[in-house]
Amino acid sequence: MATIERRTTKDGKAAYRVKIRRKGYPMQTETFTRLTDARKWAQLTEAAIEEGRLSLPKILSGLFHRSLVALQSDGSPRKIAQLLPLGRSPQCA
């Protein structure tokens, strides 16, 4: 579900921030100067998520690859935990 927030920029103009949160996917955000553009982006992005056209960011796919390599070579969950940034879990949701 998309959430659109109206914000005021430093020069006093309106800006619209769109947030899309979906279980199993990283949060998607974008800021627009026109409300119609924000709504259109939200609709297109939600459709892409539903149809499976939105891929995970490169950092997560790289992390997944490093975790698999560590698991193949050592098999130790501790080694995989060392690859993760502090405070992060290997879950995407």
If one counts the domains in the chain, the total is: 2
pLDDT at 79: 57
Do residues 39 and 24 both lie within one domain? yes
Do residues 36 and 64 both lie within one domain? no
- What is the distance between the alpha carbons of residues 78 and 60, in angstroms, rounded to a whole number? 18
The predicted model scores a pTM of: 0.58
Do residues 11 and 47 both lie within one domain? yes
**DSSP label at 88?**
-
- Please, are residues 34 and 52 in contact by the beta-carbon 8 Å criterion? no
Do residues 37 and 61 both lie within one domain? no
Three-class secondary structure of residue 23 per DSSP? coil
- What is the distance between the alpha carbons of residues 84 and 66, in angstroms, rounded to a whole number? 10
pLDDT for 93 beyond 90: no
pLDDT for 7 beyond 90: yes
Note down the domain range covering 22.
2-51
- Please, are residues 42 and 64 in contact by the beta-carbon 8 Å criterion? no
